[in-house]
Structure 1
Amino acid sequence: MKILFDANLSYRLVKKLAEIYPECLHVNRTGLPIPAIDRDIWDWGEKNDCIIVTNDEDFLNLSIQLGAPPKVVLLQIGNQSTTQIARILTERFEDIKALYLAEDYHVLEIF
């Protein structure tokens, strides 16, 4: 299960979550221009079989318009520290895994 963290999340999440999500990376490590355009991130995630983790609702809109892949984890948790986001993503591992395996849905919103 590959995880791609959007630019609006800290690159430090990769190190904090490497044990539970060993195939995670931040968008700044994809080779895309910085700042990357949402559609380019979407296309990269699709080509590389990633779940995009973001707090940007534009990815929800792309998911509605284009369907999956990629699948999207939309964090609706307000401003949280990187440590808090890492904790939430660790706690929700089984839900994210279920999203990865699901055929009937492609977005997971975490509140």
Structure 2
Amino acid sequence: MSYLVDAQLPPALAQWLREAGYNEACAVRELGLRDADDGEIWKEAHARGLTVITKDEDFAQRAQTGAPGPQIIWLRIGNTSNAALRAWLLPRIPQIAALLAQGCRVVEVR
């Protein structure tokens, strides 16, 4: 799996994913997309085959319209520290990966 960490999440999340063995993880700013709108990020993620990790409901809504585009991991967690985000996300990764492998377009993570 290849991941694109959206702008409202810490870029350190992409680094952590790489360190955890997900070598194809990057933050939007690493692709020069830090100030890009959702549509541009959507197109770039789709073109590169990246799954978007986001807290932005707009991506989930766009994916549910059936429009061609990337898979979405929609994180439903409030503002938190990087360490708390990693601790919250880590035990959920196997289930997220399984749902994406089954072809789920949007994986909502609570």
Report the TM-score range of the alignment, normalised by the length of the smaller protein.
0.7 to 0.9
Q: Unmatched 5+ residue regions in structure 2?
A: none
Which structure is higher in helix share? 2
Distance 1:95 1:109, change over 3 A: same
Task: Point out which structure has higher relative CO (alpha carbons under 8 A, 6+ apart).
Answer: 1
> Please, what is the CA RMSD of the aligned residues?
1.6
Number of aligned residue pairs = 109
Question: Percent identity over the alignment?
Answer: 32
- CA displacement at 1:75 relative to structure 2: 0.8
Residue of structure 2 equivalent to 1:72: 72
- Aligned AA for 2:44? W
CA separation of 1:24 and 1:61: change in aligned 2, threshold 3 A: same
Q: Is the 8 A contact 1:5 1:26 kept in 2?
A: yes
Runs of 4+ in 1 over 4 A off after TM superposition: none
TM-score by length of 1: 0.87
Q: Deviations over 1:38-91 (max 9, x none)?
A: 011111110111110000101011111244531101111111111122223322
Secondary structure of 2:90 counterpart: helix
